[in-house]
Amino acid sequence: MEINQNEITGELTVVFLGHVDHGKSTLIGRLLYDTKQVTSDKIEFATARSQEQGRLLEFAYLLDGLEEEQEQGITIDFTQTRFATAKRQFILADAPGHREFLKNMMCGASRADAAILLIDATEGVQEQSRRHGYLLTLLGIKQLAVVVNKMDLVGWEQNVFQKIKADYEEFLASIGFSAQAYIPAAAFTGDNVAVKSRQLLWYPGKTVLEQLEAFRIKENTGIPLRIPVQDVYRFGQRRLLAGRLEGGLIALGDEIILWPTHEVTTVKAIERWPEANVHQAIQGENVALELSDPLFAERGMIIAKSEHPPLVSRSFTARIFWLGRQPLVPQQRYKLKIGFQETGVWIEQLTKVLDIGKLCEVATDTLPAGFVSEAILTSDQPLVFDTFHDNAELGRFVLIEEYQIVGGGIITAALTNKQTGEFRHDRGTDNLFPTAGFVTKTERRRCNGHTSQVFWLTGFSGSGKTTLARKVEEQLFHKKYQVYVLDGDNVRSGLNGDLGFSSSDRKENIRRIAEVAKLFVDAGIIVLVALISPYAADRDLARSRFEDGEFTEVYVKCPLEICEARDSKGLYKKARNHQLQKFTGISDMYEPPTKAEIVVETDKMPVEMCVKLLLQHL
């Protein structure tokens, strides 16, 4: 992709923030209207809706909205619209001002280059004026202009404006932030929006429109190469690492380091279909890289160059914000995502909790929504990152609870020598895991040239679990994979020889086999467990012992009648004759999996096809 410098016009995203009813939507609507950037059917719609409510044209109705929003005259969720001046193109994002919709505000603001914060001249600085201003610093937005709106309602008085300006300047200074401009305006009448006001002649500065043009596009230059690996694709014999350049540039033949394994290799090919012969790629581009060596690679790893290595640690300090319905509780486990890395994390300590609506420190054990804190975090797995200051993209993270993003933060520093002593980052050397004899799972996998995981085959007796497991084992073994089958019957004759078939013994049987399988996975081996494992809860328990992606539940599905007809071990006959108690399918229940990653129907599919389905999942 050639870059033609003449084509770069630049597009800037500006978010409009501030307290409820301070006029964010109206200001955007007015900008669109005065610069004639609304389609005629939208004006007709807004005019009709305003008239129905006995009002003059409500400029906010020119923005897209939900029925609830336009009925109640509020903004619930953010929306954005395109806007252009002679100089530049913009995306204007309208964010809600209600505290309860703060998560939507953050969603709309997080991708902005600059912000316009509105303050109502009749109300002055309010709780959300401060909260929104503060949160900009955590989102990494450095450009801010403040609009003191509704000047028409205070008789265009200069001293009202000066007072608000002084108040907000003081607030921003206290958090180490400042605004580029303070603009007195009236969105409803259009004064100082797109055209200079005739009422505010004492104000010599820019209109809102001129301020938009004065904002600069975020400069992301000078960031060292970072390619978080988003996925690994296979094309025949080729293996390609897909990812977007979050900094720097990469060229054919470049020496790169794969983190956290710290393996060194070079770039053999850069793929960017449909282009052929791609020699280099720059920041922001999505590529797929072929490496010169067949190193172990997976989603979450980071590609960097030797000059500027990232940080690696399980512990770091951060400034975090919280949006969850329930407050954040220290020592409770959440999921953290940084780049494509996902791991369990807990907050060791909230070191300084701030109510940013009032801007005061509060003594509290938990972090409520809308508050921020300085904190120390510890993760289950070592993470590869930068500080937010060095590289925003790899220096920020989100926190997830029950399937939803509920918070986030920016990393201020890596902590080394975590108390447990099990991991230390020794920057600049190869001694990433310095304890003698301490071999990690990742290293074992790399050595084996494949990942390690468990296939958990569940199904009736006679459904074909063992046959399938043995076939997969055979094929993988011949391909030089480290692989082993844990068969229910075999394990029961040894390790679990003390267990029977009661529900509690079945549970213990599964628990032990899951633990053994986990050891195999830690040892870098692919393990196939062939076990009736009839209860969903027990299988879930087994699953919970593994990390994401390590546990593949395989439902070996076959109707009971067919299993019984096969009866290769003569067990069904015995169960029917009451010679066997608690036999799954006859005198004990089987709960079919509802979330199995793979379902093989052994009465319908040839065994080769079943084998293939499992192999595809490697």
Partner 1 sequence: MTERLRNLEAESIYIIREAYAKFKKPSMLWSIGKDSTVLLWLARKAFLGNCPIPLVHIDTTFKIPEMIVHRDRLIQEWGLQLVIGKNETALATGMNPEQGRLACCTALKTEAFRQTVERHGFDAVLLGIRRDEEKSRSKERFFSVRNANFEWQYKEQAPEIWTQYNTDFPPGSHVRVHPLLSWTEIDVWEYIEQEKIPVTTLYFARDGKRYRSLGCWPCTTPIESQAMTVKDIVEELKNIGKSERAGRAQDKADTYAMQKLRAQGYM
Catalytic (active-site) positions = 533
Please, what is the minimum distance in Å from the beta carbon of residue 289 to partner 1?
12
For 250, residues 6+ apart whose C-beta sits below 8 A from its C-beta are: 225, 227, 256, 267, 270, 280, 281, 287, 289, 303
User: Which range touches partner 1 (CB under 8 A), out of 61-69, 143-151, 446-454, 553-561?
Assistant: 61-69
Is 394 a binding residue for partner 1 by CB under 8 A? The answer is no
The length of the chain, given as a count of residues:
618
DSSP sequence for 27-85 = HHHHHHHHTT-S-HHHHHHHHHHHHHTT-S--GGGGS---HHHHHHT---S-EEEEEE-
Residues 236-265 that bind partner 1 (CB under 8 A): 240, 242, 244
Give the x-and-dash track for 559-598 against partner 1 (CB under 8 A): -----------------------------------xx-x-
Nearer to partner 1, 404 or 587 (CB): 404
Whole-angstrom distance, CA of residue 259 vs CA of residue 479: 27
Is 285 a binding residue for partner 1 by CB under 8 A? The answer is yes
Quickly tell me which residue has 């007709």 as its tokens: 44
Q: What is the largest CA-CA distance in the chain?
A: 101
Query: In the set 85, 110, 162, 189, which binds partner 1 (CB under 8 A)?
Result: 110
User: Which range touches partner 1 (CB under 8 A), out of 100-108, 190-198, 480-488, 557-565?
Assistant: 100-108
Please, what is the minimum distance in Å from the beta carbon of residue 358 to partner 1?
23
- Token code pair at residue 389: 């200051």
Residues 397-426 that bind partner 1 (CB under 8 A): 397-398, 400, 403-406, 408
Query: In the set 176, 236, 273, 277, which binds partner 1 (CB under 8 A)?
Result: 273
Residue 395 in contact with residue 385, Cβ under 8 Å?
yes
Is 437 a binding residue for partner 1 by CB under 8 A? The answer is no
Residues 202-231 that bind partner 1 (CB under 8 A): 230-231
Is 604 a binding residue for partner 1 by CB under 8 A? The answer is no
| Residue 483 burial (CB count, 10 A) | 22
User: Which range touches partner 1 (CB under 8 A), out of 101-109, 382-390, 526-534, 581-589?
Assistant: 101-109
Whole-angstrom distance, CA of residue 501 vs CA of residue 504: 8
Is 523 a binding residue for partner 1 by CB under 8 A? The answer is no
Whole-angstrom distance, CA of residue 522 vs CA of residue 454: 11
Is 613 a binding residue for partner 1 by CB under 8 A? The answer is no
Nearer to partner 1, 391 or 466 (CB): 391
Is 87 a binding residue for partner 1 by CB under 8 A? The answer is no
Give the H/E segment covering residue 259. strand 255-259
Alpha helix segments (H runs only) across 86-218: 102-109, 127-139, 158-174, 208-214
Give the x-and-dash track for 291-320 against partner 1 (CB under 8 A): --------x---------------------
Rounded to the nearest 10 degrees, how much is the dihedral formed by the CA atoms of 487, 493, 497, 503? 40
Give the x-and-dash track for 24-43 against partner 1 (CB under 8 A): ---------------xxxx-
Nearer to partner 1, 404 or 581 (CB): 404
476 by DSSP, 3-state: which? helix
Please, what is the minimum distance in Å from the beta carbon of residue 593 to partner 1?
11
Is 234 a binding residue for partner 1 by CB under 8 A? The answer is no
Is 66 a binding residue for partner 1 by CB under 8 A? The answer is yes
Give the H/E segment covering residue 230. strand 227-235
Residue 336 in contact with residue 359, Cβ under 8 Å?
no
Please, what is the minimum distance in Å from the beta carbon of residue 515 to partner 1?
26
Alpha carbon 443 to its chain's center: 26
Whole-angstrom distance, CA of residue 538 vs CA of residue 521: 19
Query: In the set 155, 174, 216, 235, which binds partner 1 (CB under 8 A)?
Result: 235
Residue 118 in contact with residue 208, Cβ under 8 Å?
no
Is 68 a binding residue for partner 1 by CB under 8 A? The answer is yes
Is 8 a binding residue for partner 1 by CB under 8 A? The answer is yes
Whole-angstrom distance, CA of residue 71 vs CA of residue 61: 10
Sites of contact with partner 1 (CB under 8 A)? 1, 7-11, 39-42, 45, 64-68, 76-82, 89, 91, 103-104, 106-107, 110-111, 139, 230-231, 233, 235, 240, 242, 244, 271-274, 284-286, 288, 299, 323, 335, 337, 340, 393, 396-398, 400, 403-406, 408, 594-595, 597
